[in-house]
Amino acid sequence: MPGCRESPLKVDAARHEPQQPKLGGTDDAGSATIQHRTACRIVSARRRRRRPRYRPTRASAFEQAALALTLAVTDPTGISSQHTVEVACEAPDDAFLLLDWLNSLIYEMAVRRLVFGRFAVSIEGHRLHGRAWGEPVDRARHMPAVEPKGATLTALKVEARDDGAWVAQCIVDV
């Protein structure tokens, strides 16, 4: 589909091993799709199929949501930790905390012209303190597929499952 760009590389966030992307063909609306296996559910507005992974803690689910955001842009395995950005968020519940976290990262990526490859999150109540490590965008090396515009309320969910694992998900506009 014209104007639809796909990431050239897929990384399984649980194992951090590069893999070739699986092209999903087209969905019912005719949009090109690509399947990414990531540690949470975060997808571009054009993608319809999702495969969430569950994390043992709420903080690790938020870290993996940030990594999935990077996966929508580029392969995070080659990103060095030249710059550290600290982010603090507070929200009335976990779902809005995820939105604030991801939108803060999107803001930092846009303003500082950075891509992030590593994240650390601590959460107390509904206060998040996070760190993101990354480097300036090099278009030739990083080959960014999209520029994220913002995390949305669409499919927004942060919850602990019955087995104690956490899932954090939302749709990100690109």
Those residues whose C-beta lies under 8 Å from the C-beta of residue 15, and which sit 6 or more positions away, are none
Answer yes or no: is 44 within a domain.
no
Q: How far is CA 135 from CA 16, 41, 90, 159, in A?
A: 19, 25, 26, 31
Answer yes or no: is 3 within a domain.
no
Looking at residue 42, its pLDDT comes to: 44
Domain that holds residue 145: 54-173
If one compares 118 and 15, the residue with the highest pLDDT of the two is: 118
Answer yes or no: is 37 within a domain.
no
Answer yes or no: is 60 within a domain.
yes
Task: Give the Cα separation of 100 and 102 in Å (integer).
Answer: 6
Answer yes or no: is 118 within a domain.
yes
Looking at residue 47, its pLDDT comes to: 41
Range of 9-23, 34-48, 125-139 with top mean pLDDT: 125-139
Task: Give the Cα separation of 6 and 94 in Å (integer).
Answer: 30
Residues in the chain: 174
pLDDT above 60 for 2: no
Domain count, the chain: 1
Answer yes or no: is 76 within a domain.
yes
Answering whether pTM is above 0.85, one says no
- Tens-place pLDDT, residues 55-100: 789 999 999 999 999 999 999 999 999 999 999 999 999 999 999 9
CATH code, 93 = 3.55.10.10
Answer yes or no: is 101 within a domain.
yes
